[in-house]
């Protein structure tokens, strides 16, 4: 259980980070295959150990967060995500579930391409476009009406004889390959960072604060479903939805067919092999039960419809030569091998580098420089080498030697399980990565302060560590090339806005190893102040709920290392103020009490009751132990109820628990 708990927390942190970068920052960290593997492992742990499942688990979340930069727009009904299948067998399992829940009736399907873009909803009232929004977290999206209005293929006014009073349509905004290439050439010539792929370019273009920038980029869109429509009872199928949208002048998905699972298999094979001939990216098919009556009968989970699934294409791959291997130092000091490849076109993208993850992977693959290797590119992010290809070519092969010294500072590397780590806090590479993280949205979120600016400031000798950021003046910035007066003001204002931050944000932005966003909030919520945290022992940190030995060791070591202590003091001396972490409580009725909720409740869900516990000063636990103060038991309580009785833990009914909090179940 402890091992599963630790791994579960790691996966939650990892998936939250991946989601944040993919949905909110438009900068994916891993390919789809790696993300899907992590998500499947998380789901497997939740199935084996249901008590470990947390509220807002990544397995239940739809999309990303809603940026405060834009106004929020509610989605009615919510915009759900799709479940995935990856093989013919899994597709058959999907159909078997549909047939079973439709009492043996075999449905027909709408079979559509899965566009790799940004999901949006557009609302028309009295035939006029009134609001457009991103999917956001599924319940609320970001208001991007002004930007969407610049997309030429989206009508501002509906056409046709029967204009509905209200219509919300859902689809995918994307950028074609030709426009993507043009935009990246333009950015490269202007010294700007290029976009990783068309999906990121489309998302970044749609989230511009200036609609004129969006208008300059030729975005396109296909719509494929209706959220709400006046007279919806007259619509009977997905096929009719497409007909209605076409009649109103709304661009609909291309290459749609209606048929059986057998037809879907043929459709899949055709587009898997010909997708590179399209001017836009697709990463699979979407298969939907056609009739809305059957869709309603099958229903949905909180995250995905049971009547639809995405059948993902396999990762794109090719064979090329491994020419050399570089060592890359990350923020936590881990040294990662990165392969330099003979450039090769994979799925329309020229690939020159690929990740090897670690040196244990190099040994497992048995590869050497000069070898022919198979490279996959899935999700259009950093490609990876998956195998060595046997060949008879007379090419000189060289062993890939695991380094013993840091490639950046030449310090001795420390072996740590499968990784090599540089533990020199003054290492230039680590400092650079820490600076990048500190200013990022995942850190302190200092706007207009990206990696390129950090490099320029370092070269000018103005910034060597995080604390130096708080010493910058406008005249320092104006001394840099390509720095205008307005941008300099914005950067200084953004730094000033981050001179006062809650303890949890401060901890998160420091990038302490093993202590990500969630655990930073947990630790800050317990300790309240920086002064209290700095005096805590490892044992006291471990006593904090959810904080394990590795996290405690990392946090303790950070605040007791000479270099990092000096860094924190330097930040405080330069005007950084760490605000006491405040947690608003409804009451302290359950202060210092640990409660476990189990079984089926009637008035509230278990998650709602666990929130009530936290709101009233208590702690909701997933397992019963001698330290449990109360077990709240609903119907079918099972083994937890028996264990509570065996340990003599007081048992409360749902009504008794609510009465303890002064809540009447009849209200």
The residues carrying an active-site annotation are 114
What residues have CB less than 8 Å from 501, skipping those under 6 apart?
444, 509, 576, 577, 578, 579
Which helix (H) or strand (E) segment is 359 a member of?
A: helix 359-365
Non-local CB neighbours of 498 within 8 Å, separated by 6+ positions: 444, 445, 446
Sequence-ordered strand ranges (E) for 176-302: 219-229, 257-259, 282-289
| DSSP result, 388-421 | EE--------B--PPPSB-TTT-PBEEEETTEEE
Beta bridge partners of residue 377, listed in sequence order: 316
Q: What whole-number distance in Å separates Cα of residue 18 and Cα of residue 35?
A: 8
Q: Are 471 and 496 in contact (CB under 8 A)?
A: no
For helices 517-527 and 2-19, the axis angle rounded to 10 degrees is: 110
Phi (first) and psi of residue 115, to 5 degrees: -80, 140
Asked if residue 541 lies in contact with residue 523, where contact means CB atoms within 8 angstroms, the answer is yes
Q: How far apart are CA 416 and CA 335, in angstroms?
A: 11
Q: What are phi and psi of 107, to 5 degrees?
A: -80, 160
The one-character DSSP state at 23 is I
Q: Which of 637, 643, 585, 576 is nearest to 614 (CA)?
A: 585
Q: How far apart are CA 307 and CA 303, in angstroms?
A: 12
For the record, the structure tokens of 279 come out as 């001017």
Q: 31, 384 in Cβ contact below 8 A? A: yes
Alpha carbons 63 and 121: distance in angstroms, whole number: 14
Put the strands of the sheet holding 619-621 in their side by side order.
619-621, 594-598, 630-633, 651-653
List the one residue out of 418, 404, 285 whose CA is nearest residue 360: 418
Please list, in sequence order, all residues whose beta carbon lies within 8 angstroms of the beta carbon of residue 585, skipping any fewer than 6 positions away. Answer: 615, 616, 617
């Amino acid at each position: 259980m402890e091992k599963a708990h630790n791994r579960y927390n790691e996966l939650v942190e990892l998936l939250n980070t991946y989601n944040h970068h993919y949905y909110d920052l438009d900068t994916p960290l891993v390919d789809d295959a790696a993300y899907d593997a992590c998500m499947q492992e998380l789901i497997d742990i939740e199935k084996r150990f249901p008590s470990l499942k947390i509220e807002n688990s990544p397995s239940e979340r739809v999309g990303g967060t809603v940026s405060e930069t834009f106004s929020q727009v509610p989605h009615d009904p919510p915009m759900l995500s799709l479940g995935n299948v990856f093989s013919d067998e899994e597709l058959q399992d999907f159909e078997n579930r549909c047939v079973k829940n439709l009492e043996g009736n075999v449905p027909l399907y709408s079979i559509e391409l899965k566009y790799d873009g940004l999901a949006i909803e557009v609302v028309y009232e009295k035939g006029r476009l009134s609001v457009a929004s991103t999917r956001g977290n599924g319940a609320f999206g970001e208001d991007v009406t002004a930007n969407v209005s610049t997309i030429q293929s989206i009508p501002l006014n509906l056409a046709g004889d029967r204009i509905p009073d209200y219509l919300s349509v859902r689809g995918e905004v994307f950028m074609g390959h030709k426009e993507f290439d043009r935009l990246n050439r333009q950015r490269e010539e202007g010294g700007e960072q290029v976009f990783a792929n068309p999906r990121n370019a489309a998302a970044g273009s749609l989230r511009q604060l200036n609609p004129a920038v969006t208008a300059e980029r030729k975005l396109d869109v296909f719509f494929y479903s209706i959220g709400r429509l006046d007279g919806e009872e007259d619509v009977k199928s997905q096929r009719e939805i497409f007909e209605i949208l076409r009649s109103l002048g709304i661009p609909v998905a291309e290459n749609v067919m209606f048929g059986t699972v057998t037809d879907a298999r043929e459709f899949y094979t055709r587009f898997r092999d010909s997708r590179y001939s399209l001017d836009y990216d697709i990463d699979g098919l979407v298969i939907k039960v056609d009739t809305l009556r059957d869709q309603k009968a099958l229903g949905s989970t909180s995250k995905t419809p049971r009547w639809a699934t995405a059948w993902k294409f396999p990762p794109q791959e090719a064979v090329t030569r491994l020419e050399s291997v570089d060592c890359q130092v990350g923020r936590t000091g881990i040294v990662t091998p990165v392969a330099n490849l003979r450039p090769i076109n994979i799925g329309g993208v020229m690939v020159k580098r690929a990740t090897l993850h670690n040196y244990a992977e190099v040994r497992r693959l048995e590869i050497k420089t000069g070898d022919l290797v198979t490279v996959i590119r899935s999700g259009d992010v950093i490609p990876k080498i998956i195998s060595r290809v046997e060949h008879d070519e007379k090419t000189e092969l060289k062993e890939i030697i695991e380094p013993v010294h840091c490639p950046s500072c030449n310090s001795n590397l420390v072996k740590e399980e499968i990784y090599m780590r540089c533990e020199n806090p003054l290492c230039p590479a680590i400092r650079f990565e820490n600076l990048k993280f500190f200013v990022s949205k995942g850190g302190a979120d200092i706007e207009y302060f990206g990696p390129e600016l950090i490099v320029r400031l370092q070269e000018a000798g103005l910034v060597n560590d995080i604390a130096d950021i708080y010493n910058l003046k406008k005249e320092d910035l104006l001394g840099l090339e390509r720095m205008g007066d307005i941008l300099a003001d914005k950067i200084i204002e953004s730094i000033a806005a981050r001179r006062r931050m809650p303890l949890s944000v401060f901890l998160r932005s420091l990038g302490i190893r093993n202590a990500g966003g969630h655990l930073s909030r947990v630790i800050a919520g317990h300790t309240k102040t920086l002064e209290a945290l700095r005096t805590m022992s490892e044992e006291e940190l471990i006593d904090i709920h959810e904080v394990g030995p590795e996290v405690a060791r990392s946090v303790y070591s950070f605040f007791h290392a000479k270099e990092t202590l000096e860094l924190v003091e330097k930040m405080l001396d330069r005007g950084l103020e760490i605000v006491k972490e405040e947690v608003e409580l409804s009451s302290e009725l359950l202060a210092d009490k640990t409660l476990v909720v189990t079984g089926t409740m009637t008035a509230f869900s278990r998650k709602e009751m666990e929130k009530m516990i936290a709101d009233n000063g208590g702690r909701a636990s997933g397992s019963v132990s001698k330290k449990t103060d109360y077990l709240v038991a609903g119907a079918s309580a099972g083994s937890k109820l028996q264990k509570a009785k065996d340990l003599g833990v007081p048992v409360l009914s749902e009504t008794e628990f609510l009465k303890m909090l002064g809540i009447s179940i009849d209200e």
